[in-house]
Amino acid sequence: MSTNAKHPKGLYVLFFTEMWERFGYYLMLGIFSLYMIDGWESGGMGFSALKKSDIYGTYLGLVYLTPFIGGLLADRVLGFRRSILGGGLLMASGYLTLAIHNETTFYVGLLLIILGNGMFKPNISTLVGNLYNDDRYRANKDAGYNIFYMGINIGAFVCNFVAAYMQIKYGWGYAFAAAGIGMLIGVAIFIGGNKHIKEADVMKPMQPGDMGTGRILLSTIAPMFLFGVLGYLIPGNLLGTDTNDAFIFGCIPVIAFFIYLYVKANEDDKRPIGALLAVFGCLVIFWAVFHQNGDALTVFAKEHTDREMSPAIAAIADPINMAETVTNQGADTDARSAGYFHSLAPEKVPAEGESMKLYSTQLYQSINPGWVILLTPLLVAFWAFMRSRGKEPTTPTKIAIGLTITALSALVMVGAVMATNNLESKASSLWLIASYGVVTIGELCLSPMGLSLVSKLSPPRITALMMGGFFLSTSVGNKLSGMLSGLWEGFEDKTHFFYMNFGLAMAAALMLFFLLRWLNAVMREKNIH
């Protein structure tokens, strides 16, 4: 490790590894919904809107469910570095498989990404925390996670420009292939920087009374599949679709396992584990609201946002394949064009046979990470200023603030709907930019702080497993996100959709504020700030 007074060298190895991993992940995610609803003849899957939302939510749910298994195997069997390496290679294989235009390979590719993310995601986050166990760096752990998180979003920002270029010029398959190449670059960086992180790859020995690895897997994985099948077969679609029922039922044994960890924990571990589980429960709602940026808000950007390019910008963007072309084909207008023209002011609709240039929908996926890049240095500096004055909020307090701000972002979209008379006209892009800006502040107060909190409070021998618990909350929230997005078409007044999101996020924020006294007491007991 470096003798740098603030951050270890290993942080920057993990920063660039995660940057390229997230480049691939968010490139795929940014085009995922659009690819599924694009017609088969255009290179897409030709799925209905309902099937698209169902698959989107299920995929996001499973992507963040498997870190429970990956964290367990890293803690007990493989170690963090081998888990990250194997996970990265699996994800790269998945993206390259998606490049093949075939329904079977589509599902195989998703499976490989789901398994790979499970091995990669909890363990690289755990390694970041382990780097700060050294007393020289301990006080800067929150800042370290903020810096790490900015790496995530640099990758997420850049990838959408690459996605737009590759999809417009070459097609969907080449865009997915670019995601795979990005992941392979991340793997190469990780291998090259191994000497700076090997000291953080420490497996803590089990304690008497800890459940064995095989027993954990048998008591969770088998019941997870059994409950999933049961949920799928239950008649009546309790949660909207068979896959929704299967997923939520399948999560029950995993949730029960974490409750078991709390019940059986020794006196030193019980309250920290309980505190983490309480926070995880509140975070479910954050992810349910936040991750609609890849589904409901992507559809909003595509169909209800004014994306017209000025001639000057189009002259620059078109040669580099950053512009989307839509043509008025009269009675034969295709679905994609109709989706844009249907709420466009009549005077703006080009004459039959003529075209107009639009900002590619994929580019809107870069708004959130762009805000992260801009705001992270400001927020890190603000927390440092507050710390210098002895007024920095605790990590749980930051998370509660983040949830409140997330709720406010939904009200911005209420304004967007009102400004368009319930989407009878196109909304200015500024509404989406503003909404993403607000939710980004909430995200920066919450997501990296959640990772930091897990690193601070988890018993050392199960840190990666508890990181898997953090991502389990993400998993359930992501599935709920798809379920909520599926309600979009059912709201005649679209403001009600965003009021629903506001209410859910505020309820979670209020619950966390209610728990703050207890959570902060647990932090003090562990001498953690």
Alpha carbon distance 387, 248 (integer Å): 41
Higher pLDDT, 105 or 316: 105
Give me the chain's average pLDDT, please.
86
> Quick check: 208 pLDDT over 70?
no
> Quick check: 210 pLDDT over 70?
no
Q: What is the pLDDT of residues 98-139, one digit of tens each?
A: 999 999 999 999 999 999 999 998 888 888 888 887 777 777
User: Who's near 296: CB < 8 A, 6+ residues apart?
Assistant: 484, 485, 488, 497
Comparing 44-58, 92-106, 276-290, 504-518, the range with the smallest average pLDDT is: 44-58
User: Rounded to the nearest 5°, which phi and psi values hold at 491?
Assistant: -90, 115
- In order, the DSSP letters of 405-435 are HHHHHHHHHHHHHHHTTTTTSPBPHHHHHHH
The shares of helix, strand and coil residues in the chain, as percent rounded to the nearest 5, are 75, 0, 20
Alpha carbon distance 71, 326 (integer Å): 46
Which helix (H) or strand (E) is 326 found in, with range? strand 323-327
Give the SS3 label for residue 459.
coil
> Quick check: 24 pLDDT over 80?
yes
- In order, the DSSP letters of 329-384 are -GGG--HHHHHHHTTS-GGGSPPTT-EEEEE-GGGGGGHHHHHHHHHHHHHHHHHH
Comparing 38-47, 155-164, 203-212, the range with the smallest average pLDDT is: 203-212
Name the percent of the chain lying above pLDDT 90.
Answer: 36
Alpha carbon distance 522, 116 (integer Å): 34
How many CA within 13 A on the CB side of residue 98?
A: 33
Residue 210 near residue 192, CB atoms below 8 Å: no
Q: What is the pLDDT of residues 371-419, one digit of tens each?
A: 988 898 898 889 889 988 989 898 899 999 999 999 999 999 999 999 9
> Quick check: 336 pLDDT over 70?
no
> Quick check: 25 pLDDT over 80?
yes
What pLDDT, on a 0 to 100 scale, did the predictor assign at position 337?
Answer: 44
What pLDDT, on a 0 to 100 scale, did the predictor assign at position 334?
Answer: 43
- In order, the DSSP letters of 125-165 are HHHHHHHTTSTTTGGGHHHHHHHHHHHHHHHHHHHHHHHHH
- In order, the DSSP letters of 9-66 are THHHHHHHHHHHHHHHHHHHHHHHHHHHHS-GGGTS----HHHHHHHHHHHHHHHTTT
Smallest CA-to-CA distance from 450 within 486, 415, 400 is with 400
Cβ neighbours, 10 Å, residue 279 = 25
Higher pLDDT, 359 or 292: 359
> Quick check: 258 pLDDT over 70?
yes
Residues 225-239 as b or e (16 or more Cβ within 10 Å = b): eebbeebbeeeeeeb
Bridge partners of residue 323, in order along the sequence: 359
Q: How confident is the model at residue 420 (pLDDT cuts 50, 70, 90)?
A: very high
Q: Residue 171: which region, alpha, beta or left (left: phi > 0; alpha: psi -120 to 50)?
A: left
Question: What's the alpha-carbon Rg for the chain, to the nearest Å?
Answer: 23
> Quick check: 41 pLDDT over 80?
yes
Q: What is the pLDDT of residues 55-90, one digit of tens each?
A: 887 887 788 888 878 888 887 778 889 999 999 999
Name the percent of the chain lying above pLDDT 70.
Answer: 95
Higher pLDDT, 155 or 76: 155
Alpha carbon distance 240, 238 (integer Å): 6
What pLDDT, on a 0 to 100 scale, did the predictor assign at position 137?
Answer: 78
Alpha carbon distance 288, 181 (integer Å): 30
Cα dihedral sign, 41-47-52-58? negative
What pLDDT, on a 0 to 100 scale, did the predictor assign at position 128?
Answer: 86
What pLDDT, on a 0 to 100 scale, did the predictor assign at position 495?
Answer: 95
Alpha carbon distance 244, 401 (integer Å): 30
Q: How confident is the model at residue 513 (pLDDT cuts 50, 70, 90)?
A: very high
User: Who's near 124: CB < 8 A, 6+ residues apart?
Assistant: 14, 17, 18, 21, 80, 84
Q: How far is CA 393 from CA 91, 135, 228, 400, 528, in A?
A: 37, 21, 41, 10, 12
Q: What is the mean pLDDT of residues 328-341?
A: 58
> Quick check: 300 pLDDT over 60?
yes
Alpha carbon distance 116, 24 (integer Å): 12
> Quick check: 321 pLDDT over 80?
no
Alpha carbon distance 450, 455 (integer Å): 9
Residues of the chain with CATH 1.20.1250.20: 10-198+266-304+366-525
Q: What is the pLDDT of residues 273-293, one digit of tens each?
A: 999 999 999 999 998 998 777
Cβ neighbours, 10 Å, residue 222 = 11
> Quick check: 207 pLDDT over 60?
yes
What pLDDT, on a 0 to 100 scale, did the predictor assign at position 83?
Answer: 92
> Quick check: 4 pLDDT over 50?
no
Q: What is the mean pLDDT of residues 221-250?
A: 83
Name the architecture of domain 10-198+266-304+366-525: Up-down Bundle (1.20)
Smallest CA-to-CA distance from 115 within 72, 82, 69 is with 69
